[in-house]
Structure 1
Amino acid sequence: MTTILIIDDEYLIADILSFALEDEGFLTVTAGSALRALEILERERPDLIITDYMMPGMTGLEFAEAVKAQDKFQTIPLMLMSGAQAHLGRQRADLFVDVFSKPFEIDVVIASVKALLTA
């Protein structure tokens, strides 16, 4: 089953996104921080990562750089969700395959995920 790692310190957003993606047949794992997500990466090896930008300890941009710095994770695509910082993610096409501004349309996120993972 295709696994998606969702990282957001706002648990309600992570849960809503998780439930919506599970309804579409994806397996999801959530993390409340980028540091926790780095631990999860070691055991889960997701097919896709969706991360928030603003989080305590490490931003989504710093997280993406840490992921891409490791050879074993370089092929995992990352998507970014952000309120005010979405433009920063759009400037980093080397890190993110898609960027969503918060509040996002859940249908748009699902369509992007499906296009990427079921192609």
Structure 2
Amino acid sequence: MTTILVVDDEFLVADVVTFALEDEGYHVVRAGNGQKALDVAEREAPDLVITDYMMPVMNGLEFASTLRSRLADTMPPIILMSGAQAHLARENGALFAAVFDKPFKVGDVVGMVRTLIGPPR
């Protein structure tokens, strides 16, 4: 089963992305901030992570950096979604496989997921 972790404190955004990915056949797990997402990532071993930038407790850049240090050998690709801070993610391109500015087209995100990890198994 192909698992994707969606990390966003905006429930509507997380719902839209989650429903679109589940409709494609992916298994989706969620977390509302970077700290909770680290626990979920260690437990679920996702094939790909989609994260927001601006979140409470730990932002998307901090989350991606910490995840990389914890899962160095099995690091999944990370897609970042951001309304105002996308330029910061682009400056740290080695952490992110793709960066989407909000608002984004859900179909574009799903297409990038397929490009990065292929169809669900």
State the TM bucket, normalised to the shorter chain: over 0.9
| Distance (Å, rounded) in 2 between the aligned partners of 1:74 and 1:65 | 14
Name the aligned partner's letter for residue 112 of structure 1: M
Instruction: Please give the TM-score of this superposition, normalised by the length of structure 2.
Output: 0.93
Paired residue for 2:86? 86
Letter in 2 for 1:19: F
- Aligned-pair identity in percent equals 53
Partner of 1:62: 62
- Show the 5 A alignment for 1:27-46: 27-46=27-46
Find runs of 4+ consecutive structure 1 residues off by over 6 angstroms. none
Gaps of 5+ in 1: none
Partner of 1:20: 20
Cα drift, residue 71 of structure 1: 4.0
Query: 2:2 aligns to what?
Result: 2
Q: Within 2, Cα distance between the matches of 1:106 and 1:71?
A: 27
Question: Comparing 73-82 with 88-97, which one deviates more in the overlay?
Answer: 73-82
Deviation at 1:88, TM superposition (A): 0.9
Structure 2 unaligned runs (5+)?
none
Q: Do the aligned partners of 1:64 and 1:78 also contact (CA within 8 Å) in 2?
A: yes
Q: How many residues align?
A: 119
Query: What's the C-alpha RMSD, in Å, of the aligned pairs?
Result: 1.3
Comparing both chains, which one has the higher relative contact order based on Cα–Cα distances under 8 Å and sequence gaps of 6 or more? 2
Which secondary structure state, in structure 2, belongs to the residue aligned with residue 69 of structure 1? helix
TM-aligned CA deviation for residue 72 of structure 1: 4.8
Aligned-pair CA distance for 1:42: 1.7
1:97 counterpart residue number: 97
Alpha-carbon spacing, 1:105–1:65, altered in 2? closer, same or farther (3 Å): same
Q: Quote the Cα distance in structure 2 between the aligned partners of 1:73 and 1:15.
A: 30
Determine helix, strand or coil for the equivalent of 2:46. coil
Contact 1:67 1:74 in 2 (8 A): no
Letter of the structure 2 residue corresponding to residue 24 of structure 1: E
In 2, the alpha carbon distance for the partners of 1:24 and 1:53 equals 25
Instruction: Normalising by structure 1, report the TM-score.
Output: 0.95
